[in-house]
Chains A and B, each alone.
Chain A
Amino acid sequence: MSENSIISLQNVNKWFGDFQVLKDVNLEVKKKERIVVCGPSGSGKSTMIRCINRLEEHQEGKIVVDGIELTGNLKNIDSVRKEVGMVFQQFNLFPHLSVKENITLAPIWVKKMPKAEAEELAMKQLEIVKIPEQANKYPGQLSGGQQQRVAIARSLAMNPNIMLFDEPTSALDPEMIKEVLDVMVDLAEGGMTMIVVTHEMGFAKTVADRMVFMDEGKIVEEASPDKFFNNPESDRTKLFLSQILHQ
């Protein structure tokens, strides 16, 4: 593990039944670094980032997040989850709670924050994602883009050091993608450590410090965006790029 890595994956292997989804994955992420992970579907990119907050359990290798190793130890898992926020493809807002309650829930119950303070925090987060006026609505009353922005605000309310994004715009209608990406760009400019699984190559070019390309459970290529898009090394990367850039 290198000196200033905040996330470190070392020889991580994982199987679903007999099927190996992650094969010797090694990845070091520095503080404030923005990583964009791409690759064909089934390449293990979602599984990899889900291992980082232990939504999936890895079977071999070592994952260390902010100095805490992820093992079966529940205390460690809890402290890692406090450090790491996650945004999902399907938003996964709590449909029975209002937007404000979605955001205040974890601060109140996990951080034992007083309700008034948590609500103030929620409004602040909603300002950041630019939808304070939706605070009292329910998720079902919002558009997809608004829901995803609430999901981002919900994660930010726990004040994480690291944000994981699992295809945050894949379930959105085209005209709503930009409003979500704009929020993510703001977040990146604010200095958040981010790992983003996405096929939004425009976003990758503006924001990423490093591109990671995965295929069949392996990291095939790791490079700066400039090199990755203009001069990729592996043929697999070239094929992938030609397919998604010239559609």
Chain B
Amino acid sequence: MENNSNFETRKPPVATTGILGWCRQHLFSNWVNSFITLLVIYFLYQLIPWFLDWSVFSADFWTNYKGELIVDRTFCSRVADPEGDHGACWAIIIVRFYQFMYGFYPPEQVWRVNLTYFLLVIALLPLLIEKIPGRKHLIKFTIAFPIVAFILLYGGFGFQIIPTNKWGGLLVTLVLGVFGIAIAFPLGILLALGRRSQLPVISMFCTLFIEFIRGVPLITLLFFGMVMLPLFLPEGLNLDGLVRVLVAVTLFQAAYMAEVIRGGLQAIPRGQYEAAQSVGLSYWQMNRKIILPQAIRISIPSIVNTSIGLFKDTTLVIIIGLLDLLGIGRGALADATWMGLSNEVYVFVALVFFIFTFSMSRYSLYLEKKLKTGINMGAD
């Protein structure tokens, strides 16, 4: 015992490290745990091969089991040979892929949409990668992106005008989602600050706005935007249908965003305001440099959560006749040549949504991790 001095450090016992140790601790620590582990493994064993078989190995893509090119539902293996063991018929997606992506955008102009998608990726880069060279200039582009995107997608300045009723599919989903979130975020910040303002008029206006918008279902707001908004506008000014929906979606999202950010603001200790004031910062400097960076940091999980919620809620525009990704899918199913392939359509639509929402969720985790370094909030 005496030889084993207190200052010597030993390696941890082998049984608690490595893959085996991890499995023992986390999967088989007692018999309930072991039972659940085995049960889950059994279900995965049943589910994954079945799904892979349905969606990939036994599925039709361009051709059916006889090698014929699929041109309508009757060629699909599972329709042509109901007795056989056939999987999904992805031809419906492949044949209508253009519609799923762009709606009824004129094909000779579709490069404009693709260019917009490409520019969107560029605009997101400075937000995604902190150490990208020339970040300052890229941020300027990110701020200008909505205007660039509008001109490219809609037209004007020498571009042929493509009315928004020709837009559809993922294009509409992304326009509503990206613009809705991008405009609602700054608006939400202003509303949150306004609600906490010491000036009663501003605070009351913001509170009323938030409570009204939040108290009404999005569908009602969408109808409101479609039917009633034109009544409030001066005669002759006829707002585009998509713009009216976008206004409704943005206001809805802004109200939720405001409450999320207000939650973050409430977590900032009073001492931060006092320290900022005592060194002479003005109200806007204090909020921009001290309060909001901390408040937004705390709210990231909730901000991303409401953003994901909004992105999925854009599918509600289907009820006022806009054809977003889901709308195009339902259109395809209503078409007699492809009827009955709803599994394929819904799985595809779900997958596309999942890709976007899952990326957002990963991005939020990345942000949280990045911003945590060296920061000890609250406790000091």
Contact surface of A with B, Cβ cutoff 8 Å: 53, 55, 78, 81-82, 84-86, 88, 90-96, 98, 105-106, 109-110, 137-141, 144, 147, 151, 154-155, 158
Q: Which residues of B contact A82 (CB under 8 A)?
A: 280
Q: Which residues of B contact A158 (CB under 8 A)?
A: 279-280
Q: How large is the interface on B (under 10, 10 to 19, 20 to 34, 35 or more residues)?
A: 20 to 34
A91 to B289, Cβ gap below 8 A? no
Residue B30 CB within 8 A of the other chain:
no
A96 to B380, Cβ gap below 8 A? no
Q: How far is the CB of B197 from chain A (nearest CB, A)?
A: 15
Q: Which residues of A contact B271 (CB under 8 A)?
A: 88, 90, 92
Residue B374 CB within 8 A of the other chain:
yes
| Complex Cα spacing A140 to B374, Å | 6
Asked if A139 meets B280 with Cβ closer than 8 Å, knowing A92-B272, A96-B297, the reply is no
Asked if A106 meets B374 with Cβ closer than 8 Å, knowing A95-B294, A140-B380, the reply is no
Residue picked from B274, B294, B371, most chain A C-beta under 10 Å: B274
Asked if A93 meets B280 with Cβ closer than 8 Å, knowing A88-B271, A88-B275, A138-B374, the reply is no
B279 to A96, Cβ gap below 8 A? no
B380 to A110, Cβ gap below 8 A? no
1/0 contact trace for B338-380 toward A, CB 8 Å? 0000000000000000000000000000000001011111001
Residue picked from B271, B277, B279, B376, most chain A C-beta under 10 Å: B279
Q: How far is the CB of B156 from chain A (nearest CB, A)?
A: 39
Q: Which residues of B contact A154 (CB under 8 A)?
A: 275, 279
Asked if A94 meets B275 with Cβ closer than 8 Å, knowing A81-B280, A140-B374, A140-B375, the reply is yes
Residue B186 CB within 8 A of the other chain:
no
A106 to B281, Cβ gap below 8 A? yes
Q: Which residues of A contact B371 (CB under 8 A)?
A: 96
| Complex Cα spacing A139 to B274, Å | 17
| Complex Cα spacing A86 to B376, Å | 22
Residue B290 CB within 8 A of the other chain:
yes
Q: Which residues of B contact A98 (CB under 8 A)?
A: 374
Q: Which residues of B contact A106 (CB under 8 A)?
A: 279-281
Residue B220 CB within 8 A of the other chain:
no
CB-based nearest B residue for A77: B277
Query: Beyond A93-B275, A96-B371: 19 further Cβ-contacts under 8 Å?
Result: A53-B277, A53-B278, A78-B280, A82-B280, A86-B278, A92-B269, A93-B380, A94-B294, A96-B293, A98-B374, A105-B279, A105-B281, A106-B279, A109-B289, A139-B380, A140-B374, A140-B380, A141-B374, A154-B275
| Complex Cα spacing A78 to B285, Å | 13
Residue B9 CB within 8 A of the other chain:
no
Residue B6 CB within 8 A of the other chain:
no
Of A90, A137, A140, A155, the residue contacting B279 (CB under 8 A) is A155
Q: Which residues of B contact A137 (CB under 8 A)?
A: 374
A110 to B376, Cβ gap below 8 A? no
Residue B4 CB within 8 A of the other chain:
no
Q: Which residues of A contact B289 (CB under 8 A)?
A: 105, 109
Residue B5 CB within 8 A of the other chain:
no
Residue B266 CB within 8 A of the other chain:
no
Residue B3 CB within 8 A of the other chain:
no
B278 to A95, Cβ gap below 8 A? no
Q: How far is the CB of B373 from chain A (nearest CB, A)?
A: 8
| Complex Cα spacing A94 to B380, Å | 11
Residue B282 CB within 8 A of the other chain:
yes
Q: Which residues of A contact B282 (CB under 8 A)?
A: 78, 110
| Complex Cα spacing A147 to B376, Å | 12
CB-based nearest A residue for B291: A94
Of A92, A96, A110, the residue contacting B375 (CB under 8 A) is A96
A94 to B280, Cβ gap below 8 A? no
Q: Which residues of A contact B380 (CB under 8 A)?
A: 90-91, 93, 95, 139-140, 144, 147
A88 to B274, Cβ gap below 8 A? yes
Residue picked from B269, B275, B285, most chain A C-beta under 10 Å: B275
Q: How far is the CB of B273 from chain A (nearest CB, A)?
A: 9
Q: How far is the CB of B289 from chain A (nearest CB, A)?
A: 6
A55 to B281, Cβ gap below 8 A? no
1/0 contact trace for B286-303 toward A, CB 8 Å? 000110011001000000
Q: Which residues of A contact B290 (CB under 8 A)?
A: 94, 105
Q: How far is the CB of A5 from chain B (nearest CB, A)?
A: 21
Q: Which residues of B contact A95 (CB under 8 A)?
A: 294, 375-377, 380
CB-based nearest A residue for B290: A94
CB-based nearest A residue for B285: A109
